[in-house]
Structure 1
Amino acid sequence: MIADPLILSMILIAILFVFLLSSLWIGVSLILTGIIGMLIYDHNLPPVISIYDKVGDLLASSLYDALNSWSLAALPMFILMGEILYKSSISTRLLNGLKPWLAFVPGGLLHVNVAACSLFAAVSGSSAATTATVGKITLEELKNRGYSKTLAMGSLAGSGTLGFLIPPSLIMIIYGVLSDVSIGKLFVAGILPGLLLASLYSFYIMYKAKTDPSVLPEKEEKFTFKDRVNSLKDLAPIFSLIILVLGSIYGGFATPTEAAALGVLGSFLLAAYFKAISLDILKTALLNSVRTSVMIGFIIAGAVFLSQVIGFLGIARAMSEFIISLGLSPLMLILLIGIMFIILGMILEAISIVVMTLPIVLPIVILAGFDPLWFGIFLVFMVEMAQITPPVGFSLFVIQGISNEKIQTILKATFPFFILMIITVVLITLFPEIVFYLPEQMIK
C-alpha cells in the first residue's frame, strides 16, 4: 500500500502510459488506471468497509455524472452537422465561391485554405473534418493551377486546426463540461484569437508570395466583378448557416445545444435544397456521428472517473502544493505547462490530452491566478499544436492520405505554421484582453 500522493501520481502516470502503449482503448485505460490507484492507496479504512465497495460506488457515480450533462448533448449534434456538410456538395460550393474573392490578394488562391478552413470550422467544430473536407478539394486543384504544393499543404495543416478554435468547437464543449466554464463564453472568447491566428497565416502566405515568386503560378487566374457576384450564390448558404448557429448563441436565443440542433436542421435543409442528400449519405453521416460521439463519451467518462480518483486520493492537492512550493512565477508556470502540452501532443491526440491533464492542471492554474476561461483558450491552442506534431499528429496523417506525400515533406511544410501558433499563444498570454474582450462585451 502507498500513502504518499506524489509517489502514487508518478506510479499512475507510468501505468497509464503502459496501457496506452499497449493499444488499449483510451477510455478503458483511464478507468483501469483509476481503479488501480484506488486499490494500491493506503486508505486506512475500517475493517467493515471494503475498498471494492468504494471503487464501485465512485465508478458508478462518476460515470453517471460524466454523461448526464445537457451541455454534452451539443457534441453529437455538431459532429452530425459536420458530417452532413462533409458528405454533401456544400463544402465544394464553399471553395468555388471563395476563389473569385481571393485571387487579387498577394498569394492568390493559396489563401483559399485559410479562408475555407475558417468558414468550415465555424460550422463543423471538428479539426479532422475541416482538414479532410478542405484538403480534398484544394490540394490537387492548387497543384494543377501551378501553386506551391508545399505551401498549400502547410497552410492546410495550420488552418485545419482552426476547427478547434473557431466556434463551435468540440474541444471547447468538452473543456466547458469538465471545468464547469460557460460553453457560450468559451465560444465567444475563441473568436478573436481564431481570427488573429488566421490573419497571421494569411500574412505569412503574402510574405512568401512577395519574397518567393516560385510559389505562385506563372500566369495568375483572373476573375471579373461578375464572377464575384455570381459566387455569392455559393457563399450565401454557408454564411446563412454560420449566422443561424452562432447568431442564435451570441444573440441569447439558444443554448449551444439548441444551436447545434438548429445547425443539423440547417445543414440538412441546405443539402436537400442543393439535391445533395440521399438515404446513403444520411445513413453514413449518422453512423459516423454515433461512432465518434460514443468514442468521445467513453473517453470523457473515463477521464471524469480518473479525475475523481485523483481528488479522492489527494493527488491534485499534493501536486498543487508541490508546484506552489517551487515558487514559480505565473508566467514560468504557464510556460512549463505549455511545454508539457507540446510534448504530450507528440504522443496523444487532442481529446485525450484535455481529459487526461485537466483534472491535475486546472486547479494549479487557477491557484496561480489564471482565469479558467482564458486557460480554456490556451488549452485549445495547445491541442491544436498536437494535431500537427509527430508522431501522432492526426492532421498530418489526413494530409498524407490526401496528398500521398512523405510525412517528412509535410512536416517541413507545416513547421512555419506551428511557429505562428506559438507566436499567437505568446500574444494571448501577454495580452489576455484578446480573449476577454468579446465575453465582457456580451455580459454588458
Structure 2
Amino acid sequence: MELLSTVFLLILLLALLGGGLWVALSLMLVGMAGMMMFSSAPMGDVLATTVWGASNSWALAALPLFIWMGEILFRSRLSEDLFSGLAPWMGRIPGRLLHVNILGSGIFAAVSGSSAATAATIGKMTIPELSGRGYQQNMIIGTLAGSATLGLLIPPSIVLIVYGVATEQSIARLFIAGVLPGLLLVILFMGYVMIWSLRQPKENLAKEEVLPFKEKVNRSRRLIPVVLIISGVIGSVYSGIASPTDAAAVGVLLSLVFSYFTGSLNRKSFIEGLMGATKTSCMIAFILAGAAFLTVAMGFSGIPKSLASWISTLELSPYALLFALTLFFIVLGCFLDGISVVVLTTSVIMPMVEQAGIDPLWFGIFLVIVVEMSQITPPVGFNLFVLQNLTGRNILQISKSALPFFLLMLVALLIVTVFPEIVTALPDQMGG
C-alpha cells in the first residue's frame, strides 16, 4: 500500500513540475495530497506551523548573506584579478593557462558558494582570453564546466547550507567537511589537464610568455583581497570565532570594502547585487518551506518509515545503497537544479541512510558531489546553460566537452567512499 502511495505522489510531483509549476508550490500541493489521502491530521495547522518553522531558522540567515556576497563579487573586478594573479605562474605547467580555469573557479567558489555564478564570472573572463591565445575550445569549456561545480562543495556552499537546514546537521562542520574533497577535485582536474597536455603534439599547444620571478610576484599582489575574503570567511568558522551566519556577514562586509576600493561598487551595482540576492534567497527559502511541509506530511502518512523498512528488507549493503542512490540522484539531477534535488529527497532518503549506519555528515558531502555531477548532465545541467550562453555552442557539444570531468567526479566519489576520512578528518579536529 505504501509503495503504491509513494508511486502516486511521485507521479503527481513529476506531473506538477513537468507542467511548469514552481518547485515550492509543487512540494506543498503534493504534501497536501499526501495528508488528505493518508492522514487525519489538521492540514491547515500543520502547513502554517511548518512553513513558519522552516522560515524562522537562524541557520537560514547565512543563506541570503552568502548569496549577496557572491552577487557583490560577481559585479566586481575579482575575475580579472584572479586571471592576472594566477596566469604568470601557470606558463611552465603542462596545460598552462587552462589551469587558471580550474584554480580560478576553485578560488571564486570559496567566495561565492554558487556553481552558476562561478561558471558565469570565470567564463566571462577566461573564454575570450584563452580562445584568443589559441587554446582548444573543448578543453576551455570542459575545464570551466567541471571546475565551476566546485561552487557547490567548497565552503561557503549554498547547497551545504540547504542540506544542513533540511537535515539539522551543523553547517559549520559541513563547511569544513567540504574543504578536502574540494581540493581532491581540483587535484584530479589539474592532473587530467596535465596528462592531456603531455599527450598533445607541441604545435597544437598555445605558447605563453615566461615572466621573471619578480614580475610574477608583483602581478600576484592582485590576489590579496580575494585571499583576505576567503581567510575571513573560512578562517573565522574553522577557528570557532564565528558561526556560518556571522562569517557570512564578515564576507559581505569584506566584499563591499574590496569592491569600493577597486572602484567596482557604485549605487547601481549595489542595488543590482541586493536585488539579485533577494530574488535568489526568496526562491530558495520558498523551496525549503515547501520541502519542510512535504517532509512533515510524509511523516504523518508514514511513507518514509515504510520505505526505509522496505529498503531494509532488501538487505542492501551500505555500498549497494550508495550505488542505487547515486544513480537515482544523477537521473533526478537531469531534470532539477541541485537545491531542489537536496530538499526533495532528504525526507525520504535520510531514514534509509541512517538505518544503513552511514554518517549524515559524510553523506551530505557525498550527495553534493553527486549533485555537482548533475550540474553538467543534460538536459537541465545549469552549468551547461551558462556555458551555452557564453559560447553560443549547442548543449550536446558542451556536454561532450564536460564528460571527462563528469567521470573525474565519479572517481572522486569512489575515493571518498573508500576513504571517508577525507570528509570527516577536519570536522573531527574541529570538534562539536
Q: Report SS of the residue matched to 1:108.
A: coil
Q: CA deviation at 1:214?
A: 6.3
What pairs with 1:337-356 in structure 2 (closer than 5 Å)?
337-356=325-344
Separation in 2, partners of 1:207, 1:304: 46
- Give the alignment partner of residue 401 of structure 1, picking from 360, 366, 389: 389
Q: CA deviation at 1:213?
A: 3.3
1:194 aligns to 2:182 (yes or no):
yes
Q: Deviations over 1:278-323 (max 9, x none)?
A: 0000010001000000000000000000011111110010000000
- Report the equivalent of 2:11: 14
Q: Report SS of the residue matched to 1:336.
A: helix
- Report the equivalent of 2:37: 40
Kindly indicate whether the alpha-carbon contact (under 8 Å) linking 1:147 and 1:215 is maintained by their aligned counterparts in 2.
no
Q: CA deviation at 1:342?
A: 0.6
- Report the equivalent of 1:31: 28
Q: Deviations over 1:170-203 (max 9, x none)?
A: 0000101111111111011111111001100000
- Report the equivalent of 1:308: 296
Q: Deviations over 1:362-404 (max 9, x none)?
A: 1100100100000000010111011101000000010010011
Separation in 2, partners of 1:387, 1:423: 16
The aligned amino acid for 1:103 is G
- Report the equivalent of 1:274: 262
- Report the equivalent of 2:171: 183
Separation in 2, partners of 1:428, 1:236: 32
What pairs with 1:110-259 in structure 2 (closer than 5 Å)?
110-213=98-201, 217-259=205-247
CA gap of 1:441–1:17, structure 2 versus 1, over 3 A, is: same
- Give the alignment partner of residue 96 of structure 1, picking from 80, 84, 99: 84
The aligned amino acid for 1:21 is G
Separation in 2, partners of 1:247, 1:415: 34
Stretches of structure 2 lacking an aligned partner (at least 5 in a row): none
Kindly indicate whether the alpha-carbon contact (under 8 Å) linking 1:120 and 1:130 is maintained by their aligned counterparts in 2.
yes
CA gap of 1:218–1:260, structure 2 versus 1, over 3 A, is: closer
Q: CA deviation at 1:230?
A: 1.1
Q: Deviations over 1:81-139 (max 9, x none)?
A: 01110111122111111111112211100000110001000011111111110001001
Stretches of structure 1 lacking an aligned partner (at least 5 in a row): 46-50
The aligned amino acid for 1:27 is A
The aligned amino acid for 2:59 is S
Q: CA deviation at 1:218?
A: 4.5
| Same amino acid, percent of matched pairs | 47
Separation in 2, partners of 1:87, 1:206: 32
Q: CA deviation at 1:5?
A: 2.5
Q: CA deviation at 1:216?
A: 5.2
Separation in 2, partners of 1:69, 1:215: 57
Q: CA deviation at 1:215?
A: 8.8
- What TM-score comes out, normalization by structure 1 length? 0.95
- Report the equivalent of 2:378: 390
Separation in 1, partners of 2:314, 2:78: 54
Separation in 1, partners of 2:206, 2:31: 60
Separation in 2, partners of 1:341, 1:219: 41
- Give the alignment partner of residue 64 of structure 1, picking from 49, 52, 70: 52
Kindly indicate whether the alpha-carbon contact (under 8 Å) linking 2:375 and 2:384 is maintained by their aligned counterparts in 1.
yes
Separation in 1, partners of 2:203, 2:17: 41
The aligned amino acid for 1:22 is G
The aligned amino acid for 1:426 is L
Q: CA deviation at 1:221?
A: 2.5
The aligned amino acid for 1:277 is L
The aligned amino acid for 1:93 is D
- Give the alignment partner of residue 330 of structure 1, picking from 313, 318, 331: 318
Separation in 1, partners of 2:82, 2:384: 23
> What is the RMSD computed on CA atoms of the aligned residues?
1.2
Q: Report SS of the residue matched to 1:161.
A: helix
Q: CA deviation at 1:148?
A: 1.0
Q: Deviations over 1:219-249 (max 9, x none)?
A: 3332221221111221111001111111111
Q: CA deviation at 1:7?
A: 1.6
- Report the equivalent of 1:78: 66
Kindly indicate whether the alpha-carbon contact (under 8 Å) linking 1:12 and 1:33 is maintained by their aligned counterparts in 2.
yes
1:5 aligns to 2:2 (yes or no):
yes
Q: CA deviation at 1:324?
A: 0.4
The aligned amino acid for 1:40 is M
Q: Report SS of the residue matched to 2:97.
A: helix
Separation in 2, partners of 1:386, 1:310: 26
The aligned amino acid for 2:14 is F
Q: CA deviation at 1:327?
A: 1.2
